[in-house]
Amino acid sequence: MQLPDVPEEEAIATVHRAIELGINHYETARGYGNSEERLGKALKGFDRSGFFLTTKITPKHYQNYRQYIEESLDRLQVEYIDNFDIHGINNDEHIDWTFRNGGALEALREA
């Protein structure tokens, strides 16, 4: 997927305008370039309880899920994420990485 190269100031201004208009659900993903960092900057200073935040991780190596969660929290500059999607479960190996002991679901439960 090719994402447009939008200047950071424009991205932040767009989120601020969305907030002004009452939009309160924001979806991002670690795979969407630097969107988590920009969204974190844009939402900084706003009441965290005023929006619903979704991000996604893609199953690659089940050992890294906890690290991915912590990195997303840091980039988004929040203490919690309302909805963590597991993106791209496309084959048996991804299913295994997600549902096995030590997999994505376990990491999400512990987060």
What integer pLDDT is reported at residue 35 of this predicted model? 92
Residue 17 lies in a domain: no
How far is 56 from 86, CA to CA, in rounded Å?
6
Number of domains present in the structure of the chain: 1
- The answer to whether residue 65 is catalytic is no
pLDDT band at 23 (very low <50, low <70, confident <90, very high): very high
Token pair of 100 as six digits = 């096995």
Query: Would you state the structure tokens that stand for residue 35, as one six-digit string?
Result: 């969107």
The identity of residue 63, as a single letter, is Q
In a domain, 18, yes or no: no
Residue 58 lies in a domain: yes
Band the pLDDT of 42: cuts 50, 70, 90: very high
Bridge partners of 28, per DSSP, are none
Listed residue (105, 2, 3, 26) closest to 59, CA to CA: 105
pLDDT (average), residues 78-90: 89
- Residue 53 lies in domain: 8-12+25-110
- Of 32, 62, 68, 80, the catalytic one is 32
**Residues sharing a CB contact under 8 Å with residue 36, sequence separation 6 or more, in sequence order:** 28, 29, 30, 55, 72, 75, 76
Across the chain, mean pLDDT equals 88
Assigned domain for 77 exists: yes
More confident residue, 63 or 48: 48
- Cβ–Cβ < 8 Å for 106, 83: no
Question: Is residue 68 one of the residues assigned to a domain?
Answer: yes
Residue 92 forms part of a structural domain? yes
* Residue 84 covered by a domain: yes
User: What distance in Å separates the CA atoms of residue 15 and residue 38, rounded to the nearest whole number?
Assistant: 9
